[in-house]
Amino acid sequence: MARIRSVSPGLRSSETAAQWDREARYAWVLLWGYLDDYGRGIDNPRVIAADCFPLDDDVSPALMDHWLDLYEGSGSICRYEFEGKRYLHVHNWSDHQKPQHPSKPRIVPCPKHESGAHKRWMGVRAAEHAKVSGNPHESLMSASPTSRGEGRRGEVSEEERGGASSGAPIPPRYPDRCPEHADDPYPGNCGNCKDVRVANAARPPLTLVPSDTKRCLVHDQTYTVVCSGCRADEIAAEVAG
């Protein structure tokens, strides 16, 4: 979703921008609306071209990628990679934009140019993961804050716990995010994440089975779904019956 941005009068007399052709200068301004309130965004020329020029078929991903290379070569942006995903950010973003009420950061800061913000980001992500149980497949067990009405990812209400002193096991859950936002503590209003939650509503519930039940490698956990590759399906049928 495009964001409202201001255009500094200094852009008119910028010697850096003067080296670009007029189309590149226009694309530079439109790029600001694609980036978040911290000047960061996913580095995908196809997505950026569609966001900035939705009605211009002649602006191809290749042309947008050329402009991004031009901006990077001029020292205006940095294109970086983190955990296999590509991102970009504008240098000296605060010189261009000053959002009064910035949203929560959803794009990982650049480790090289935003080392302080990057460390804070990693700290927040570690704290989010620490709220989940010690299960190695915690991403499959985490709760959905939007579909369950919980305050934060991984938190479970007293009702779901069966009471603070009941000792009842916490029901497992399917993933509540799309692959792109699997490890994102602030996925925002993502349509793909919503589709995942809608699909989950039609899936069979995960089932608690005895700890000594023989399972396949995929379901070698306390919780499992009905599986023809292990005895957990028999136990699940008995529980359901």
Q: Give the pLDDT of residue 70.
A: 96
Cα–Cα distance measured from residue 88 to residue 103, given in angstroms and rounded to the nearest whole number: 18
Q: Give the pLDDT of residue 113.
A: 92
Q: Give the pLDDT of residue 214.
A: 57
Q: Give the pLDDT of residue 47.
A: 95
Question: Are 34 and 2 a contacting pair, CB within 8 Å?
Answer: yes
142: amino acid identity, one letter: S
What predicted TM-score, i.e. pTM, was given to this entire model?
0.52
Q: Give the pLDDT of residue 143.
A: 40
Cα–Cα distance measured from residue 124 to residue 200, given in angstroms and rounded to the nearest whole number: 27
Q: Give the pLDDT of residue 178.
A: 77
Cα–Cα distance measured from residue 50 to residue 59, given in angstroms and rounded to the nearest whole number: 8
Under-50 pLDDT residues of the chain: 133, 135-166, 222-224
In the block, tokens 């009405």 appear at 149
Q: Give the pLDDT of residue 190.
A: 76
What CATH architecture applies to the domain 9-107?
A: Orthogonal Bundle (1.10)
Q: Give the pLDDT of residue 176.
A: 75
Q: Give the pLDDT of residue 233.
A: 53
Q: Give the pLDDT of residue 222.
A: 46
Residue 90: count other Cβ atoms within 10 Å of its Cβ.
Answer: 21
Q: Give the pLDDT of residue 132.
A: 61
Q: Give the pLDDT of residue 170.
A: 55
Tell me the domain boundaries of the chain: 9-107, 131-203, 204-241
